[in-house]
Amino acid sequence: MALASAGAVVGSLATGVVAATVAVAESNSSSVKFTSQSAVAGLVSHYTVSHEQRPEDSSGSAGSDTRQLPRLNKNGHQTIDNTSASDTKAAPKSDNTNAVSAGSSGDGGGDNGKASFIGQASSATTCSYFGPGCNPPDMALAASTGFVLQGVNTQWEVLDTSGEVQAGWPVSAQAFFGVPDMRGANGQLCDTAHKSQPFLSDPRALYDPIDHRYWAAMLQVSNGLGLNMVGCDFKSVYYIAVSQTNDPRGDWNVYEFNMSLDGQFAADFTQIGINHDAIYFSANMFGPSTGLNGGFYAEVFEANKAKMERGQGGFTADGFFNMQATGPGTTAATGPFIADTVQPAINTDNSGGSGEVFADTLDGPDPVNGHFCGFFGGGAAQSCSGLALWRMTNPTGHDRGGAAPRFTGTYVRTKPFVATPSFSVIAADQPSCNQCVDSLDLRITATPQVRNGVLYAAWETGLNNGTQTVPSIEWAQIGLPGSERDSSGNGYYNLSGDTAVSFPTLMPDAHGNVVMLFERMSHTIFPETRYIVKSGEGQFHGTGTLLKAGENSYRPQLCGTAALPVCRWGDFSASSFDGAGGIWFAGEYANTLNLGAPQNGRNWGTWIGALNVSGERG
């Protein structure tokens, strides 16, 4: 499919889109201006899925389709990365390179670990649409003091907090959300090559300790994003579900929202957040090159949390799309910054000012300096910096006959970040091959968190560690209006040699300590998952604590070969707060390779862990 060009001039609005320019916010420090347009995500249906309707997953392979979907980026498809790791000019210089030492695998753990157990793993049953299985897993996690809900592509599982899988689980995503088989306009089953299964992807989840409910979301697409479902119609929807009680094994209220404003653009990269007012969801929208912005925009919506918890309709999901920014660096040649991956935060303590906060990186063109962040070459000399903080106020007032939501943007300075012309940060090494495992691009992949008036977010970037350029992490914590103290901070985290770190997810505790889960790999380290803790406004130091060691290189029979130079990994990790001091997280590692069924050589596994950093109880 034709994807957007980052420098494309903004085109006319697509037919059928409800749009109006909303208030413009201007930063005092940079003269960056933000705009967006209003929209509505139509509620297609809502219903209840009971535990009796969820058969335990035993679907198995649906055929021999072995495709790997390309990772989608507003700048284009991922390509082979030709950037030399030894080129230290390819990325900004790090000020926090941490040495990798032989005895570091278990350091820093202390006695605060409270759980560590296996999650779901790749198989033809786990992800049956493509037959032999699929990758990457993505990650959804929601944990209370009683149960853990985990989602991957394309299966859901409930465990207790000691890791015991509950009776009747796992179940397919289709069964979890109660999605029917695919049928065409004539009512006949379509996409029969894949057993008429709906294509569901990109799971997200969260636990709301205020209302003691679990939330889960996943996208469905048909004949969009390069997928051709023979005999089926175009479709792009989100399924967002909420448990009826604090027990995720029971009944769920499910809501289906239409994500396509014009019947041509399809949603990718599911994102959800929450506060005391509403559930929020976002998407990256890809469409024809003749469409808006040459085929790309992002959109965000709110939905009435209280009504969804009660299983009711009677509300509209208002929102905004085509978020843009302009500033001193904006020219006719660059065009405006077009926002992507505008992540809604999880805010369960009602801090940080009114409404909901969303965050995204200014990943080109940078509205301040006009740079394209290395996506079109230039290395460190073309690096970008800064975050856009968007705020949606009065999200559900319109459901009571009041005014519509408002959406404004603010510029936040950060350290520089950079990608490569492959539309990703430089790929990672593993023992079987060099620069062969994807480390994604500059987007905030995991859901941001708000606690005590501070927003926490992290993303990937290439960094010069003094000897070479490696996949690294940049993080930010931003004091929001009403925060009790100035807790703002911004820093890098990277390792020495060729060791890569990627796919971070952050979770703070009530005292300002921050846990970061991430993945690590190098020419001597099989892909593994780890976590590290920092206090307050400090940096992340050391190599952290091993959660689960890699057992092999990832897909060594393919990764780094001419057939598959760079393998997909990720696309995001996940973390959760259980409401009683426990911080939970889930990451990916390379497990033991099995070229036969049911793994079929896609040797990814997931591991779930938890700790209590400071002994808090709330």
The answer to whether position 19 is within a domain reads no
pLDDT confidence band for 239 (50 / 70 / 90): very high
| Confidence (pLDDT) at 205 | 98
Question: Span 108-134, mean pLDDT?
Answer: 83
- The length of the chain in residues reads 618
Q: pLDDT of 356-390, one tens digit each?
A: 999 999 999 999 999 999 999 999 999 999 999 99
Could you give the CA distance from residue 335 to residue 319 in angstroms, rounded to a whole number? 24
Residues of the chain above pLDDT 90, percent: 81
DSSP state of 174: H
Tell me the pTM: 0.93
Is the pLDDT at 460 greater than 90? The verdict is: yes
The answer to whether position 21 is within a domain reads no
- CB 559: neighbour CB atoms within 10 A? 23
Cα 322 to its chain centre, rounded Å, is: 19
pLDDT confidence band for 73 (50 / 70 / 90): confident
Is the pLDDT at 468 greater than 70? The verdict is: yes
pLDDT confidence band for 271 (50 / 70 / 90): very high
Q: pLDDT of 569-606, one tens digit each?
A: 999 999 999 999 999 999 999 999 999 999 999 999 99
- CA angle, 502 then 568 then 197, to 5°: 125
Is the Cβ–Cβ distance between 284 and 72 less than 8 Å? Answer: yes
The answer to whether position 115 is within a domain reads yes
pLDDT confidence band for 92 (50 / 70 / 90): very high
| Confidence (pLDDT) at 424 | 79
The answer to whether position 20 is within a domain reads no
Number of domains comprising the chain: 1
Q: pLDDT of 169-193, one tens digit each?
A: 999 999 999 999 999 999 999 999 9
Is the Cβ–Cβ distance between 585 and 517 less than 8 Å? Answer: yes
| Confidence (pLDDT) at 550 | 98
Question: Span 121-136, mean pLDDT?
Answer: 92
DSSP E strands in 440-488: the ranges are 449-451, 454-464, 469-479
The answer to whether position 220 is within a domain reads yes
In DSSP terms, 183 is beta-bridged to: 189
Question: Span 495-517, mean pLDDT?
Answer: 96
Could you give the CA distance from residue 457 to residue 390 in angstroms, rounded to a whole number? 14
Whether the link from the prior residue into 170 is cis, omega within 30° of 0, is yes
Could you give the CA distance from residue 218 to residue 130 in angstroms, rounded to a whole number? 17
The answer to whether position 492 is within a domain reads yes
The answer to whether position 8 is within a domain reads no
| Domain with 563 in it | 33-611
Report the candidate in 420, 382, 373, 416 with the shortest Cα–Cα distance to residue 84: 420
Is the pLDDT at 106 greater than 70? The verdict is: no
Could you give the CA distance from residue 200 to residue 198 in angstroms, rounded to a whole number? 6
Q: What tokens appear for 451 in the block?
A: 């606690």
Question: Span 454-479, mean pLDDT?
Answer: 96
In DSSP terms, 577 is beta-bridged to: 583
- Of 9-23, 43-57, 166-180, 564-578, the poorest mean pLDDT is in 9-23
Could you give the dihedral angle defined by the CA atoms of residues 20, 22, 27 and 32, in that order, rounded to the nearest 10 degrees? 0
Residue in this structure with the two tokens 């390069």, named with its chain if needed: 226
Q: pLDDT of 279-315, one tens digit each?
A: 999 999 999 999 999 999 999 999 999 999 999 999 9
The answer to whether position 285 is within a domain reads yes
Mean pLDDT score of the chain, rounded to an integer? 89
Is the Cβ–Cβ distance between 435 and 422 less than 8 Å? Answer: no
Question: Span 337-365, mean pLDDT?
Answer: 96
Residues of the chain above pLDDT 70, percent: 87
| Confidence (pLDDT) at 107 | 40
Is the pLDDT at 483 greater than 70? The verdict is: no
